[in-house]
Amino acid sequence: MKSFTDYLWFETKKRKEIVHVTPLVQDLVHRSGITEGLCLVSAMHITSSIFVNDHESGLHEDILSWVEKLAPVLPDYKHHETGEDNGDAHLKRLLCGHQVTIPVTQGSLDLGPWEQLFYGEWDGQRRKRVVVKVIGE
Amino acid sequence: MKSFTDYLWFETKKRKEIVHVTPLVQDLVHRSGITEGLCLVSAMHITSSIFVNDHESGLHEDILSWVEKLAPVLPDYKHHETGEDNGDAHLKRLLCGHQVTIPVTQGSLDLGPWEQLFYGEWDGQRRKRVVVKVIGE
Amino acid sequence: MKSFTDYLWFETKKRKEIVHVTPLVQDLVHRSGITEGLCLVSAMHITSSIFVNDHESGLHEDILSWVEKLAPVLPDYKHHETGEDNGDAHLKRLLCGHQVTIPVTQGSLDLGPWEQLFYGEWDGQRRKRVVVKVIGE
């Protein structure tokens, strides 16, 4: 069994942003030399997400509106008593998930025809990290 | 390390439907010959889900009502400017998740006593695919 | 390839409770002898969650309020026609997820600086189980 570990860094210009990361992850899979296995992609900061959905800008606007409706920015989260102001971002991560596992088949990410991988930033404008771990052979 | 990859196809009669898939996946695990490892089950279409919950029809009705409340069918999603009409289905996938990983222990899916695996279709009536990847030994 | 399987048991005092489990899982990873691989942690009861977020009590209160708002205790779930009263708890599991996979790198859980692992109990006061499966080498 082989394993490969690397980290991607993101620093978004906006506080909330959806970033397409499929090519970055596919590149790491190629570099791993693993052709059959699993590739875990996981956001290491607790106010960001990783998810697989459509690469379509209208839908991304819909997602940004939707997470705001279900996990809104509010002044009175208990978490803010620590001095933080990002309670909503922690809930947005919980809502959208923070990791996906992608099958690696014949050396490539085994995704459906419209599946693309995204980093969802809910409290950005600072450097944040994502771990990519591939295991297989 | 061994790996095994196969695909399940679904075409539901209704637009929204919850389909029990545990026996289909257990059968693939047996066919893989892998007795200790991990089994990833992941919906390859971006308007469907895979989840583990109770095999109880009343609860399934509750889940269908609940996803409709939190990610409703609406005419005015930005995604619909592309000609699509399934913005809600993309959000339902995000809400319920699109994949699970099940431990394989002594040749079987290592599920709790009431855990069963389901395919959640949010925009059906057409052929859609799920990948099953087992790795282990 | 090596694999390691163990189970953690929880019995919370309250019906809803968030329990910090990082040290318990890290201990199992050490005992597995696996230094590079993946560690799956999955709630085997269909009314509880596993998630990774901040170890901060105010945020945990926010999470408990938030799941109650989005997946409320209600008398009229269809699921209750079976005699059960925990329809909300099944939906809370779906909302927050029931499993995470953590990379194991150099013998330790490869978590971000603030990432901690939690068991979310939505219908407690009875013994419930979580599976921990580590594969790697």
For chain C (137 residues), the mean pLDDT of every run of 10, in chain order, is 98 98 98 98 98 98 98 98 98 98 98 98 98 98
Can you say how many angstroms the Cα of residue A83 is from the centroid of all Cα atoms in its chain? 26
Q: What is the DSSP string of C63-124?
A: HHHHHHHHS---TT-GGGGGT---HHHHHHHHHH-SEEEEEEETTEE---TT-EEEEEESS-
Q: Cα–Cα distance between C80 and B63 in angstroms, integer?
A: 13
CA dihedral A86, C43, B114, C5 (to 10 degrees): 160
**Chain B residues close to C77, C-beta within 8 Å:** 58-59, 62
Confidence at residue A73, expressed as pLDDT on a 0 to 100 scale: 98
User: Cβ of B80 and A58 within 8 Å?
Assistant: yes
CA distance A23 to chain C (A): 21
Check residue C28 and give its pLDDT.
98
8 A C-beta contact, residue B25 and residue B110: no
The proportion of chain A whose per-residue pLDDT surpasses 90, expressed as a percent, equals: 100
Distance CA A56, CA A63 (A): 11
d(CA C33, CA C134) in angstroms, rounded, equals 10
Helix or strand holding residue A30 (H, E)? helix A22-32
User: How far apart are the C-alpha atoms of C135 and B117, rounded to whole Å?
Assistant: 22
Alpha-carbon distances of A89 from A19, A49, C31, rounded to whole Å: 16, 10, 35
pLDDT for res B123: 98
Residues of chain A with pLDDT > 70, as a percent, come to 100
The average pLDDT across B119-136 equals 98
Determine, for residues C53 and A90 on separate chains, whether the beta-carbon distance falls below 8 Å.
yes
pLDDT tens, residue by residue, A36-52: 999 999 999 999 999 99
* Residue C57, CA distances (Å) to A46, C24, C95 in order: 15, 19, 20
* DSSP-based three-state secondary structure for B66: helix
Superfamily of domain A2-136 in CATH is YjbQ-like (2.60.120.460)
Q: What is the pLDDT of residue B4?
A: 98
Which residues in B lie closer than 8 A to residue C45 (C-beta atoms)? 112, 114-115
The Cα of C28 is separated from the nearest Cα of chain A by a number of Å equal to 20
Partner-chain contact A1 C137, CB within 8 Å: yes
For residue A27, the model assigns a pLDDT of: 98
How far from chain centre, in Å, is Cα B6? 15
Q: Helix or strand or coil: residue B79? A: helix
| pLDDT value at residue C51 | 98
Cβ-Cβ contacts under 8 Å, A61 against chain B: 78
**How far is it, in rounded angstroms, from Cα C92 to Cα C122?**
7
Task: Determine, for residues C46 and B62 on separate chains, whether the beta-carbon distance falls below 8 Å.
Answer: no
ipTM, 2 decimals? 0.98
Query: Which residue in chain A has the smallest CA separation from C112?
Result: A44
Instruction: Tell me if C77 and B54 make a contact (CB, 8 A cut-off).
Output: no
Contact A78 C61 (CB under 8 A): yes
Kindly determine whether residue B80 and residue A61, on different chains, have CB atoms separated by under 8 Å.
Answer: no
**Which residues of C fall within a CB distance of 8 Å from B100?**
98-99
List of chain A residues whose C-beta atoms are within 8 Å of the C-beta of residue C113:
44
H/E element, C51 = strand C48-53
pLDDT value at residue B105: 98
Q: How confident is the model at residue B51 (pLDDT cuts 50, 70, 90)?
A: very high
- E strand or H helix at A23: helix A22-32
Minimal C-alpha gap between A137 and chain C (Å): 10
C-alpha A39/C-alpha A61 separation (Å) is 28
Please give the full DSSP string across A43-96, using - where no structure is assigned.
Answer: E-STTEEEEEE---HHHHHHHHHHHHHHS---TT-GGGGGT---HHHHHHHHHH
pLDDT band at A29; cut points 50, 70, 90: very high
Q: Where are the alpha helices (DSSP H) in chain B?
A: 22-32, 57-70, 87-96
Rounded mean pLDDT of A54-74? 98
Q: How many CB pairs under 8 A join B and C?
A: 90
For residue A36, give the chain B residue with the closest CA: B3
The dihedral built from the CA positions of residue C43, C47, C52 and C57, taken in this order, carries a sign that is negative
Provide the pLDDT confidence category of residue B131 given band limits of 50, 70 and 90.
Answer: very high
- Where are the domains positioned within chain B? 2-136
Q: What is the mean pLDDT of residues B75-98?
A: 98
CB contact under 8 A, A62 and B77: yes
- State the smallest CA–CA distance between residue A2 and chain C in angstroms: 9
Check CB contact under 8 Å for A44 and C97. no
Which candidate, B130, B122, B127, B126, places its Cα nearest to that of B17?
B122
Calculate the alpha carbon distances from A23 to A27, A109, C14 in Å: 6, 10, 46
B105 contact residues in C (CB cutoff 8 A): 5, 133
Asked if residues C99 and A120 have their Cβ atoms less than 8 Å apart, the reply is no
Instruction: Please report residues of B whose CB lies closer than 8 A to that of A64.
Output: none
Q: What is the pLDDT of residue C7?
A: 98
SS3 at position C37? strand
Q: How far apart are CA C93 and CA B91, in angstroms?
A: 17
